[in-house]
Structures are given as structure tokens and as C-alpha cells.
Structure 1
Amino acid sequence: MTVRAAFLALSWPLESACAASRVRELGEALAATSDWGLAHAAAGLRVWTSTHAPLSLEAIDGDRGVLIGATFPMPGAPPCRELPDATPRQLIAELSRRRWGRYIALVASARGGETWVYRDPSGALPGFAWSLGDGLEVVGSAMTGLPAGVGPRWPLLNWDRIADFVAKPAVCATQVLVDDVVAVQPGEALRLGSTGMSDVVWSPSAFAGNPIDDLDAAADELRARVSACAASLVGGYDRAILEVSGGLDSAIIAGSLHTTGRTSRIVEAINIAFGRPESDEQAYATAVAARAGLPLVQRQHEPSALDLSDLEAFAREQRPSANAVDPKWDRDEIERIRETGAEAIISGQGGDAVFMQMAGAGIVADAWRVKGWSVLRDPVLANVARRTRRSVWEVLRSARAEAVGRAPPVEGLWSSLISREVRAATADLKPKWLREAENCGLGPGKQLHIHALARFFLNEGPSRRRHEADVLYPLFAQPVLEHALRIPTPALAGSSYDRAFARSVFADRLPECVLNRRAKGIVTVYFARLIANSLGWLRPYLLDGCLAEAGVLDRARLELALSPEHLIWAAKPSDILWAVSTEAWVRHWQTRVPDSRTAPRRL
């Protein structure tokens, strides 16, 4: 099982006796494992959940479907209405407006015939769908580690998707790299058996296009939503661990839990230091934990070397994950989970994107839309210039270019290791959320905001700790997302230092040292040293590997990137780490399944 809280659902047409017979056989196989328990049985639908950490289930509109996972009332929304004649799409839209949480919803049409699956916008629970034939459809939190006959029939290696993933992992974070399986996307509804037909139910652009004018009211509501979401998520567990990096976002979570009285559920806070002065935030973490009244456990990591056996063990997961390259973090947290009996890990990750830590000329372009030429007198112009270390004229010129769609492509989106052919093939590859923002005519700054939110889903990749505990991200909860999207980017990120709006909103919940901090812990050097200490085996592993042979990675670029001098002065360690984790994944799966017939490797 890939995650601690797992589920598996089978859906079939009532008139199919063959499918019903197969469901009985598969149910017996699942029961024989002792890992699965039948949690929901209805006409044409069965749902099993992990016996180790059973997910809660709730019926939807009588017998129209089932909610899998934890849900909470949306702030200010009335309860869900019963809509007996509604289509599955209408029921799902109603659900998304009135509930939030960590859930998957399965909804059938009133007279049977079709079933839809919806994944909540936070993407907290994974969802994969595939067909077993005879109208029998499967939805699960994982597509690996299942009894024989339940998993995908033809999960062939799709080399177009593999190349996309290596080129732009943040864009493809929620995709699968094999045929015959569809990943249900956050905020989307998928009709089972439709070979990938999905509808966008929840879109960031819908909220970003309705900005808030009253920033005082926006601040009050942001405080309330962060408090409510953190308290609600933590309230589902008796014992949890809080990650405290020492940065702003985890400090906001700690302060919010303290304010709402939920720190009684936190058994301890944990801080990981990465053995370098530029990444050591222990003093800040100590202040955060002390203010929240929490005991703090600190762990020091030194950049030893990558372990190939760790990569190979992790390659069995359903998709590559950078979490495999530095397993010490996972192991430290697993040790504390087992020691304390914690059932969940609370993290402030996602706050960088939600509170808009990044700066760019697009923020000025957004201000220009509202203020016109008077933006020249607005502090936002000088502030963005200061943060980006450019002259105000350079920023202004870039802002005007972005406003009319003439900005050059952002080099940071691409891996620096891919071949020229792959770069050309992925030139137009963007997150769907960003493409929607462009189509809706949102300003460049808000597009930057939405793009950062889409990149968050890299955090939802497989990890060892997810086998042991649920990982919760209160700052990426749907109510917080919707509200933050409505706050104009010049307010969120137009100050002379990062996340000034969030700092002011939560000032009374933060230690003074964190509130006044202007730098951020940097782990680039740590991971560059990790790679440098691994070059003995890493160079031939990548240079002679499957990705280079298939023309996904460029050997000349690899040679340069894996030189000690380059790692010191110009390293992009994330590119190398994503490449090596994907290489290990491909090597594992190519011994088990063949290449796709429609997207084979390019030799």
C-alpha cells in the first residue's frame, strides 16, 4: 500500500452480470489479504479502505454516491441540499461549493449508467482510475501493491509522459507516466470509463477573477480561515507532530494552533537542520516552539551521499518522487511517529505559494491594470525592483512586456539537463491551472500566483512517512486557497520584503525574530554537496542510463552538470535529483512492463 489511509472502489453497470461476478471474486481476494475492509456497498458500487487506518465514508444525497475521507463545512456556506434529479456533475459542483477537506467523491447518475469521481482541490488524497473490462471500473489511492487482478491491465511505459516529467516535473506532478491509468486531477471530475474525459469543477481563476477591494476585511478573513482549517484538520487526530522549519509558514501554523487551543493535539514539534549555516534555522524554530508551548526535537543532517539502494526501493512507487533522494528526513519523522504514537504530520508547506513569496514584474503589471501610469508613483514599482535586484526601468519594461504577452519563457521551468528535442516538444507544456488563468485574461502577477500554487503538488509525491502517518497542509486547504486567490498580488507581494501581507496579518501569532526576519533558509548547497559526494556512481548511472539512451537527457549537459566545478558555482541540484529518481523508477518498471505502443522510447 502506497499510503497509510488507502481506498479502493469498484463501479459497474447493474445490467452486467459478468462484472458483478468479477466484483465478488475481487472482493474475496481483497478480504483474504487482511489489509482491506469493505466500507461501503451499494448498487453498482463497492468501496474498501485500509484496515490499518480506515478512512471515513459518508453517503451523498441518499444513495447517489459516497464521500471518502474527511470533509468540513465551507465557511459561510449553507449545508448541502438534496438534489434528487441532479446530474453527477451538478451534485459534485454543489459539493465543492459547500464542503472542503481531504476527500474523493464518487457520484452516480440518478438512474445508474455512469459514475463520476471528483478529487478535492487540495489534492490531499490521490485518485487513479482504470478499467478492468466488461464495464468494471476501478478508482484507488494507488495503482501498485494491489492483489492480482485488481491493478491496471496494461500499465505500459509512456515515454512522451516520462520526457514531459523530466523536462518540467512541477508541471506534471499529478500525472501518471504509464498508459491505461488516468490520474484524477485536483478540482476535476472524471467520468469513469470515458478514457480520460474530465470536467473542471474548481478552478483558481474563478476566485482570482473576483478580487477583494477591502484589504482590512481580507486580512480578517484570512486569519479566520487559516485558524479554522488548521484546527479542523488537526482535530481529526488525537496525536500529531508539527514540522517547524523556523520559517514564516510553519510559524503561522504553530501560532494558529496555539490560538485555537489545538496544540493539545500536538505531541511535539520537529526541526530538521541541514548542516550548513545558510540552511540552519534552529534558533528560529526554537522560538516558534517556545511561543506555542511545544516541546521541540531537532535533527541535524549532514550531506553524506546518495544511496542507490534507497532509490531502487522507492522506485516501486507509482511515480518518481524527489523524496527518495534524501531519506533521512523521512526516517527521522518516522522514528518520531513511532516513538510518540502520532497519526499525522502537520506542515506549513504551501505557504510560499499561497502567501506569494515570489516577486516579479508581473506584480507591477497587475498594479498597472488598476492604476495606469500612476503606478510610476506607487511604492510597488520600487519594491519589486529592490526585491528582484533590477532597476525600476527594467522592471517597468518587463511589466509592460508581460502585460501584452511578450515575456520570454521562464528558463527555471525547464530542467537544464534535457535534450534539444525534448525542450522543443515541451515548449508549450503548462499546468492546466495556468492555461485557464491565461484564457481568462488574468493579470501576469496573478498568473504567477496560480502557477506557484500548481507547483505545490510536487509535495504530494510518494514518501516513506506517508506509510506511517497522514501529512496535512492547512495552508493549502480549499478555503484558504479561495480567499488568498482573491487578494490582489500587489497587496500580497508588492512590499519590499516577502510575504509582507501575511506577516502583518499574523503578526501577533509570531515570535518577533520570525516576524522581522527577511532571509529564508537555503538548502541548495546541502543538496549540491550530497550530489558531489555521490559522483562516483551517479555519473555512470545517469550518463549510461535509460533516460540518456532514450534521448530524454542530453549527455553533454549531464557531463557539465556532474562536474565538481559546476556543482560548486552553477549547480541546479533539483534537476539532477529529479533525473536520478526518474532514472531509478524507469529502470525498475522497464523490467516489469513494456513500452507504450503509442509512445515508445526514442532510440
Structure 2
Amino acid sequence: MVSDISLATDAGLYTKQIDWDFIRNTLAYPHLKTGHTGLAGIHELLPGQALQLSLGSSMTRDVWTPWDFVSASKRYNDRRDALRAVREAVRSTVRAWADTDGSILLELSGGLDSSIVAAALMGSRADITCCNLVTPVPGADERLYAEQMAASLKSELHVQELSIDGAEFSFEPPPHAVTPSTWLLQHASNEAKEWIGQQVGARSYYSGGGGDTVFCFTKSAAPVVDAFNSRSFVCALRTIRNLAELHQCTVWKVTRLAARKLLGPAKPPRTPDHAFLSFKSDLEIAALHPWFSAPPAALPGDMERIFDLAGNQVFRDGIGRSSHRAFRMPLLSQPVMETCLKVPSWMWFANGRDRSIAREAFADRLPADIFHRRSKGTFMNYTGAVYRRNMHRMRDYLVNGRLAKHGLLDTDSLRKFLGSNPDTHGDSFMRIFDLCEVENWIRYQA
């Protein structure tokens, strides 16, 4: 039993071997953390689980589950109570981490979530430096917002541009990674942030990662159904209007989508992606993660955000910079998650704004541009540019790689796709990055 697989391999206690059954599953269900790993004979203890050891045997049991915090008896009914609770949970948790670390590089994207982490750090005794990443193509430049938040913190902001030419899809994964968990953008981001961290001498990295899930950022109509089933028809109508204003669509469209969700079957936790694979997965999805087993009376909005929380568990595995300095995602800390889960999904939307409870809880500490903004930055143009530049190399990398040699890829489809005009690919090129991520991890295990 070790906290880092590299401890076992360095000590000669374990020799790496690929678990190809796991690889099949992760190809069909990418970016999902389970108790299984890509290394034969190695199992991982999931968040919320405990390992019970006795003479000659061991047993894994669940000691914490998010489902305990979305029940009707735990749910906030008064918006003011929810605001106070969320503010206090985030503020006290972030400050506790800051008091522990003392020196912080805050990864300030310019979005709401990392800005709320910054707001909670105001008045902290910690030495705080901020960083922000930009790209040479449009879409990801959020420095206007990051500069305002850094100024509010009275902290220096380091802005680093990610190179298109220097972006690599083949690189050494973090030594602690027991599954494929780092793709090209994560690697490029990690290199940039680790360099800044070294320059400023920070002892820890802070991220707003997971905030979208914790603060119930959803594009579905599930909150309407939650309001109807758990509160009232009037509350459901109010939620319809809020979602229509947020998404700039008609109330009739939101109503139609909500009715479909109310009357239709429950959305599965994940659906398999068989693109470019030579096989079809018949895996029972509920068996992949303990949080995928929803209680019979679970509300659809609660189901969606808890399923997403399970997906968030993979974030830390792909962060190479966590090998050298503490890496914190305060919004995924237990006190914050528990408090936010008690806030019903429909309460997170108000006045045409998403994540409204979190916004209003820190309204006095957020610059107006950040409090009111509805847009989100995207690195899609950057990854698209990297893809165009490397698509032929990626084709050779995959069709001549370990996955293909094990018969797991439809190499004919890959050759056809990666030999065609990229203007016709839309965002389906992201699947190629998924496959390269798995191929890359495998190549570095032996």
C-alpha cells in the first residue's frame, strides 16, 4: 500500500505491466476515475472510500457519499441561508488552506470560479502571486478579468503565452499517474505554471478547478424538474424564466426540454464513445463508480451534478506540477462540496445568471465585470491550431502505436479522418487528443 506508485517502482517492489482490460474501458469511457488502474494488480482508493485491513484480507467500503447531502432533510429552503453558508464554507476553507501553505501561486483564469478563490484569499496572511495563461489565437485571453482580480488582491500577475509550435502530444506523464490522465493542453499548461511557480518561489498552486460542478453550472433543464418535484409549480416557472434569460432562448424551449426530462428516462452517468475504436463496450456503467448508483428518489439535477463530481476526481491525476509543490483545488474540498450540495439546483440560477449563489455570496469582493459576465474563455481555438499543425504526426503516432498493435483502434477510420480536410472535423478532433493521451501514457510505462 503506497500513496504514490513511483515509491513502489523505485524501491523495486513493483514492475509495471499494462492492464489491457482497463485500457479498453478507458478508451470507451475517457476521463473517468474508477477504482481500477491501467497497471495490472494495482487498485486505487477513491475519494470517500476507506480500506479496512484484517489478517489475510482487505475490504473497501464507502464512508462518504455526496448523496447524503442532497436529501430533502438537508436541503436549504431559504436563499439567504444558502448565501451565508456558501460564503462561510468557501472563505473558511480557502483561508485554512492558505494558513497551511503560506506561499501561493493562484492560477487566476479570469473566470468566476478562480476569482471566488481569490476573493476568499483577501486578507489572508499568505504570500500570494497570480498567474494567467493566454494563447496566440483568440478565445482564451482572459487577462482583462484576471488583472482586475489580481489588483483587488494587491498581488502581482504573471501572464504567460502558450506556444502552438512548442505544444507536444508525446511527453512523459506525471510519475504518480496510474491511469492516462494528462492530455496536450494540460501538459502545456502545467509546464507554464510550473515555470512561474519556480520563478516566484511559491510553495503551492491554487486552482478554481471543479467550481463549475460545485456551483452547479449546467446547461440542461434539470433544475426546472427539480423545482417542480421538490418545491412548487411557481418555483418551476421562475426557474424556466431564469434559464431562458440565461441561455437567451424562449421559455417554450426551456419548458419543452424540461418536460422531456420529466417524462423521459433518467440520463445515464456516462455514455460510451466508440469513435475510432475496433470494439463496442458492453460495460455496466453503474459499476464503474460508487456515486453512479443514485437513490430511487434522486432529482435529475442532483444526479447530473453528482455524476459530474465523480468526473472531477480525475483532475489531480493529470497535474504534473503537484509532484513538486502542493496543488490545491479548494472548491473541491469536503466542507465546500457538502455545503453546495445542500443548495438545490434551481436556487443556483437567478436574474439570468448561473452560479448565482456563489456570485452573490462574494458580490462585495468581485469586480463588477466579473460579477456580471456571462461568457467563458475557451482554449478550443488553441487546441484546434495545434491539431492542424500535428494531425499527420498524430495519425502516424496512433496507427503505428501500442493501441493499434493490440487491435483496439479502427486504423482505417483514423487514416481516413486524419487524412481529410480539417475544416470538416468540427470539434470531433478532440477525440484524437483522447486517443493520443492513452497511447502516450502506455508508451511510458515500460
TM-score w.r.t. the length of structure 2 is: 0.89
Q: C-alpha root-mean-square deviation of aligned residues, in Å? A: 2.8
Q: How far does residue 240 in structure 1 lie from its aligned partner after superposition?
A: 1.6
For residue 60 of structure 2, what is the aligned residue in structure 1?
198
What SS does the corresponding residue of 1:439 show, helix, strand or coil? coil
Deviations for 1:133-180, whole angstroms, at most 9, x for unmatched residues?
Answer: xxxxxx212112546665336x54222211221222232366411231
1:532–1:564 contact (8 Å) kept in structure 2:
no
- The correspondence for 1:542, drawn from 398, 401, 405, is 398
Quote the residue 1:587 is aligned against.
443
Q: Match of 1:486?
A: 342
1:432 maps to a residue whose letter is H
Q: Does 1:246 align with 2:124?
A: no
CA-to-aligned-CA distance 1:350-391 (integer Å, 9 cap, x gap): 111100112212111111103455466x12123334555665
Distance 1:570 1:151 in 2: 46
Alignment of 1:354-373 (within 5 A): 354-371=214-231, 373=233
1:103-502 to 2 correspondences below 5 Å: 139-146=1-8, 151-152=13-14, 156-172=17-33, 175-192=36-53, 197-209=59-71, 210-258=74-122, 261-262=123-124, 264-304=125-165, 306-307=167-168, 310-312=170-172, 317-323=177-183, 327-371=187-231, 373-374=233-234, 378-385=237-244, 387=246, 392-403=251-262, 406-407=265-266, 413-415=271-273, 417-419=275-277, 421-422=279-280, 424-426=281-283, 428=285, 432-436=289-293, 438-493=294-349, 496-502=352-358
8 Å contact kept, 1:359–1:387: no
Aligned length: 443
Give the SS at the match of 2:47: coil
8 Å contact 2:207–2:330 — kept in the other structure?
yes
Structure 1 residues 384 and 549 mapped into 2: Cα distance closer, same or farther (>3 Å)? Answer: farther
SS in 2 for 1:425: coil
For the 8 Å contact 1:243–1:250, the answer to whether it is kept is yes
C-alpha distance in structure 1 between counterparts of 2:415 and 2:261, whole Å: 35
* Counterpart position of 1:68: none
Secondary structure in 2 matching 1:152: coil
Q: 1:563 and 1:226 mapped to 2: Cα distance?
A: 49
Q: Distance in 1 between matches of 2:58 and 2:263?
A: 34
Assess, with a 3 A threshold, how the Cα gap between structure 1 residues 553 and 296 changes in structure 2: closer, same or farther.
Answer: same
Partners of 1:416 and 1:429 in 2: CA distance: 18
Residue 65 of structure 2 aligns with an amino acid whose one-letter code is S
Contact 1:284 1:513 in 2 (8 A): yes
Query: Hey, what's the Cα distance between the residues in 1 that align with 2:346 and 2:273?
Result: 30
**2:176 touches 2:317 (CA, 8 Å); kept in 1?**
no
SS at match of 1:241: strand
Instruction: Supply the distance in 2 between the matched residues of 1:226 and 1:330 (Cα, whole angstroms).
Output: 25
In structure 2, the residue matched to 1:562 is: 418
372 and 465 in structure 1: CA distance in 2 versus 1, 3 angstrom threshold: same
Report the more deviating stretch, 281-290 or 397-406: 397-406
Partner AA of 1:269 in structure 2? C
Partners in 2 of 1:560 and 1:364 — Cα distance? 43
- Check conservation: 1:166, 1:418, Cα contact below 8 A: no
Instruction: Report the Cα distance in structure 2 between the residues aligned to 1:512 and 1:277, rounded to whole angstroms.
Output: 23
Separation in structure 1 between the aligned mates of residue 331 and residue 443 of structure 2, nearest angstrom: 36
- Using the aligned pairs only, state the percent identity: 25
Are the aligned partners of 1:278 and 1:523 in contact in 2 as well (CA < 8 Å)?
A: yes
Relative to structure 1, the CA distance from residue 385 to residue 527 in structure 2 (aligned partners, 3 Å threshold; closer, same or farther) is same
Q: Which residue of 2 aligns with 1:47?
A: none
Letter in 2 for 1:365: V
What letter corresponds to residue 69 of structure 2 in structure 1? F
Distance 1:554 1:501, change over 3 A: farther
Question: Structure 1 CA distance, aligned partners of 2:9 and 2:287?
Answer: 36
Measure, in 2, the Cα distance between the counterparts of 1:410 and 1:316: 27
CA deviation string 1:24-53 (max 9, x = no partner): xxxxxxxxxxxxxxxxxxxxxxxxxxxxxx
Residue 212 of structure 1, CA deviation: 1.2
Question: Conserved in 2, the CA contact under 8 Å of 1:358 and 1:493?
Answer: no
- AA in 2 matched with 1:161: F
Within-5 A mapping of 1:76-95: none
Q: Which residue of 2 aligns with 1:518?
A: 374
Shift in alpha-carbon separation, 1:235–1:464, aligned structure 2, 3 A: same
Q: Does residue 504 in structure 1 map to residue 360 in structure 2? A: yes
Q: Does structure 1 conserve the Cα–Cα contact (< 8 Å) formed by 2:36 and 2:44?
A: yes
Normalized per residue, which structure has more strand? 1
The alpha-carbon distance between structure 1 residues 303 and 484, as it changes in their structure 2 partners (threshold 3 A), is same
Larger Rg: 1
Structure 2 unaligned runs (5+)? Answer: none
Once the two structures are TM-superposed, the CA of residue 535 in structure 1 deviates from its matched residue by 1.8
Whole-angstrom distance in 2 between the partners of 1:232 and 1:192: 32
Cα gap change, 1:385 to 1:196, in 2 (>3 Å): farther
**Structure 1 residues 315 and 529: CA distance shift in structure 2, 3 A:** farther
Superposition deviation, residue 578 in structure 1: 2.3
- What displacement does 1:195 show? 7.2
If asked which structure has higher relative contact order (CA below 8 Å, sep 6+), I would say 2
Whether the 8 Å contact between 1:275 and 1:302 is mirrored in structure 2 is yes
SS where residue 100 of structure 2 aligns? coil
Change (3 A) 1:318 1:427: closer
